Amino acid sequence: MSESQNSILLALRKIIQEVSSKKSFEDAINTLVDLIRDATNADCCSLYLLSSRKSILKLAATEGLQKDSIGKATLQIGEGLVGLVAQKQELINLANAPDHPNFKYLPDVGEDEYQSFLGVPVINQGELLGVLVIQCKENRVFGEQEETLLITLSAQIASIISITRTIKENEDFRVSRYKGKTGSGSIAIAQAVVWKPPVTFETIQIMYSDEKDIQSELFHQTIFQLQMEMDRANLYLQENSHSKASSGYMSGYGIMLDDPTFEDEVDNEIFENGYVAASAIKVVTMRRIKAAENDGYKEKIRDMRDFASILITRLVHLAPKETELSSPVVLVVQSMPAALVAEMTKDKIAGFICIDSATSSHTAILARDLGIPAVIGVNIDINDVDGRTIIVDGQNAEVLIDPSSSLIDEYMQLIAASKKQNDLFNAGKYEKAVTQDNKGICIQLNAGLNHDDDDLPEQTDGIGLYRTEISFMLCDSLPSEDQQVGWYRKLLSQFKGIPVCMRTLDVGGDKSLSYLPIEENNPALGWRGVRVCIDQPNILKTQLRAMLIANKDFGNLEIMIPMVSRLEEVVIVKRLLNEAIYEIEEETGAKIPSPRFGVMIEVPCVAFMLDELASECDFFSIGSNDLISYLFAADRANPKVSKLFDAFNPAAVRCFKYLIDRANSLQRPIAVCGEIAGSPIGCMLLMSLGYTRLSMNYSQISMVKYIVKNINLQDLQSVGKQAMALNSSVKIKQLYIEYAKSKGLYSVIDTLSLGKNL
């Protein structure tokens, strides 16, 4: 044995013995970096560990860097030299580290004077745990002896780190975690404040009063007060939400406030039957609820109950005093009227949790529009959370109560990393989406309301999916033709010169209208989409006329129909469209431009009808959410089967490939407008299969553009060919993760969604 080999063994033995003797993990890793620095004659030794969510490398121990940066200095996978070691999972040895293109300067860490760098990955049973690094002030390549020592030690300590992390994860797992029905927004961390209305619709007792004039005056003053509050709420929404149509959220309440028959009925109960104002409101509302129940108007019933509760609360002067909040909180409520959400201001409400899963759909839409992290339909004890620290993870519809400090730290770093990434993405949001090999990708917007960003058309190639049903859902009754013309004209004008693809009314399933109740045992396979419109031709005809009239001065309208399963459905809608064009031309004497007409591919049988459908339409659009759900007979909202909803399943991948190839052969453009189009790995999958038209939510556009500009389409399509030959979703997904790593895009992949099947 050579002298150098013997010295390595002695150093190893000493380090392992010393580290193993320490009682705490912190002492062990601090001893490790101290002894390695001495054994290698390095100026600095540091250990970075991967967070439990496997997204961030955090400085865990160091001798040579600033001690106060421990636990604070972080790097994402692929970021900096440390991140590069983690990404490649192989040793990197550099004499002049600052000259390397991947070098990342971390301020306040104190590594300015270090030149040479040797980093090795810490891996246990194929799983990356962290990176071990030594650095020197002089420019030199570390020798074989130092490399051998670090590689051997990284293997030795990997098992210790793995065991310790498992213990920590178990501690974090004991944090109370609750899954909600739906979520929106990003992440909020704050103290919980439980709000319970001091008086509710149910608890109001029937009481009488002889002071009828006073009771009537109180009632009308309260109506006036609430009208003023609704006006202020609408103004706040217009200034703070992403949508010009946000005032529509209050339309249900506004209609009730402006309903003279409601006031007349309440006055009648006060003067004829002697009820106090609050009791009269309850009696009238109960009568209206009973009538609505007979008609099956569930959503309308919730709105009426919400409205009455708010009115009664104001009547007895017990409105929630938001101004008393000194710092942002997570608001926890049993049920959440949309009007209460509208009163929230972002500087006081960090996030909110609504326990009632049957809360008004207006509420969920409004929270999403305001950008407040929210979880709705979560089974927690409302009496046991006040004052406790809560994490609201709107992205994953998850609530964490009393998280550990390390878990809070990780979420805080995720928030910071997300902001940092968004800044990077937004720097190129006005640029066209063009690949490194100069291939253009059409990036369009999925929308449900009119966005108020005046420069939005400059960021997109148009609207690939306009969900017309959202505006219908915000109305208390069927919208008129003129009302719809106003909606559509505003949107077509804003996007003048670029396509706006409007989907005809798509209700049924999980989307209901209070004035068009649909009660079915199996709504996902029932009366929904185009089936409803064909059975209600007057509703469809009115909508088509409104679209055509709105488009008269712009000519950028496209129309597509949802949930098609038969050729006859397309023929019927086209006949109604042609009738509408003829009628409007007869009425106005003006030529009406005929819009491009498309069919959504959501029902699997349509894949075998493309030839016939191509003769009736100008383009196809894949609604991937429903298509995947129907392919695997799996509801992604059902935790028992949600894992079956898998866009990377070989069957789904081959289906996507078949559809693009068939559409190309038929010379019909085809787009994807489901969630997969805005997913980091999902968009790469689609582009690799040949898709060049992607439509997504606004928050995803700049991110997908960034990915497009950093990939080579020809290379990516070679990856697609490999994916077609694989037999498992795990292998297929990993193929795209490896490609992302090779292009420096691994840090872009949202690790919170790596476990998801999009």
* Amino acid of residue 345: T
The string of DSSP letters for 209-252 reads -S-HHHHHHHHHHHHHHHHHHHHHHHHHHHHHSSBGGGGGGGHH
Structure-derived torsion over alpha carbons of residues 573, 543, 233, 493, reported in degrees to the nearest 10: 100
Dihedral of alpha carbons 703, 708, 710, 715, sign: positive
For residue 121, the surrounding DSSP H or E stretch is strand 116-124
Structure tokens at 559: 């129309």
Q: Is-contact 309 200, C-beta < 8 A? A: yes
56-63/500-503 β-pairing: unpaired
> Exactly one of 362, 451, 655, 683 is catalytic; which is it?
362
What SS3 state is found at 380?
coil
**Calpha distance 414→403 (Å, rounded):** 15
- Provide CB contacts within 8 A for 167, sequence distance 6+: none
Active site residue 501: no
**75, β-bridge pairs:** 57
- Provide CB contacts within 8 A for 135, sequence distance 6+: 42, 43, 44, 45, 46, 64, 97, 111, 114, 115, 116, 117, 118
Integer-rounded Cα Rg, in Å, for the chain is: 30
Active site residue 362: yes
Q: Would you give the distance in Å from CA 719 to the centre of its chain?
A: 27
Q: Is-contact 52 166, C-beta < 8 A? A: no
Q: What is the DSSP letter of 440?
A: B
> Exactly one of 44, 501, 673, 683 is catalytic; which is it?
673
Where do the H-state alpha helices sit in 427-459? 456-459
Maximum Cα interatomic distance, the chain, rounded to a whole number of Å: 108
Q: Is-contact 3 145, C-beta < 8 A? A: no
Q: How far are the Cα atoms of 634, 643, 656, 659, 693 from residue 672, in angstroms, in the given order?
A: 20, 22, 10, 11, 7
**Calpha distance 74→58 (Å, rounded):** 4
Q: Which of 689, 705, 697 shows the shortest CA–CA distance to 745?
A: 705
SS (H, E, C) 481-522: HHHHHHHHHHHHHHCCCCCEEEECCCCECCECECCECCCCCC
Q: Is-contact 293 519, C-beta < 8 A? A: no
**Calpha distance 734→730 (Å, rounded):** 6
Angle at 268 between CA 264 and CA 270, to 5 degrees: 120
Q: How far apart are the first and last CA of the chain?
A: 55
**Calpha distance 373→354 (Å, rounded):** 11
What residues are annotated to the active site?
362, 673
